[in-house]
Structure 1
Amino acid sequence: MRHVESLLAGRGVDTSAVRLTCYSGAGFTDDLRAAETKGDVILVDLRRLYGGE
């Protein structure tokens, strides 16, 4: 995901408002959960998708 963000920036797209987001119906790895805790990514599971925050 960071790679795509850097590609966009390389094309002159302002990425200051980019929020990396992963969607899953099966859950997330511990590494992704840790990244969410640090604020690096937004994780959206089915509960969050259909029920909100």
Structure 2
Amino acid sequence: MICRLINKARKKNVPVSLTVLKQNPAIRLYKRLGFSFTGETEIKYEMTVWPDPAP
């Protein structure tokens, strides 16, 4: 499902963002899917995957 959401967002040229608790092991999955850290609080990370740059 996440991959489908990312693909749809890329077609529309918009980023996808999420918030995840710092101790959540799913962070590894999000990083593999292309998400990067864009912010944080004491207990959470904000992560975003950006549309592909134009060729």
Q: TM-score, normalised by structure 1?
A: 0.34
Q: Which has the higher strand share?
A: 2
Structure with more contact order per residue of length (Cα contacts < 8 Å, sep ≥ 6):
2
Q: TM-score, normalised by structure 2?
A: 0.33
| Greater Rg by CA | 1
